[in-house]
Amino acid sequence: MKKIVFATNNAHKLQELRQMLGDRYDILALADIGCHEDIPETGNFIEENAQMKARYVKQHYGYDCFSDDTGLEIDALGGEPGVYSARYAGPGHDSEANIDKVLKKLDGIDNRTARFRTAIALLQGDEMHMFEGQVEGVILTERHGTGGFGYDSIFQPVEGDGSTFAQMSPQDKNSISHRGRAVALLVKFLNSQS
């Protein structure tokens, strides 16, 4: 079976990809290849960060690799937090603090439109392939729901019944989400290769 690295140690993301590609690819996590250091993610765009991580794995460990990076883009904030979504309120990667910061910045602002965007970079040999998924929605004025992670409790997708991502089942969220869409394109591409 072909080996490919997914540049993550997120168990949930790994399980998802293994379910979709497990019969054709042996999907290795960063820990599986002995990569325990923080891979630099210093790009100004999610696409750059995804590519950076994939190149790092290829250069240092020799494996073909894919990597994802996601950002929440809020129109009234000029696209913030964007590439800084994980650390919007500081280096602690604190989701609750990130949400508080967004709600404070949008206080009194009527335009609440936003989107999640995921970029996936796949490096095979020296060829880089990019896949993107996005989902449009609005930022609510307070949290709704307890599922999911990150900004899920304040993001209401346009498609759907008015629930936030945090009020949806993982299956329903995946079927319309930024990452679900980007992953579907990646899987289609990998499955089309002989």
Contact flag: residue 137 with ligand IMP (CB under 6 A): no
Contact flag: residue 186 with ligand IMP (CB under 6 A): no
Annotation marks residue 69 as catalytic: yes
Q: Which of residues 2-61 bind ligand IMP (CB under 6 A)?
A: none
Peptide linkage before 170 cis (omega within 30 of 0): no
Contact flag: residue 80 with ligand IMP (CB under 6 A): no
| Residues whose CB is less than 8 angstroms from the CB of residue 51 and which lie 6 or more positions away in sequence, other chains included | 43, 67, 121, 123, 128, 130
Contact flag: residue 150 with ligand IMP (CB under 6 A): yes
Q: Which is nearer to ligand IMP, 56 or 148 (CB)?
A: 148
Q: Which is nearer to ligand IMP, 47 or 152 (CB)?
A: 152
Q: Which is nearer to ligand IMP, 95 or 134 (CB)?
A: 95
Q: Which is nearer to ligand IMP, 134 or 177 (CB)?
A: 177
Tell me the number of residues near ligand IMP by CB under 6 A: 17
Contact flag: residue 85 with ligand IMP (CB under 6 A): yes
Find out whether 138 and 156 touch, Cβ atoms under 8 Å. Answer: yes
CA R_g for the chain: 17
Stretch near ligand IMP under the rule CB under 6 A, chosen from 17-25, 106-114, 124-132, 150-158: 150-158
Q: Of 69, 152, 161, 172, which one is the catalytic site residue?
A: 69
Known catalytic residues are 69
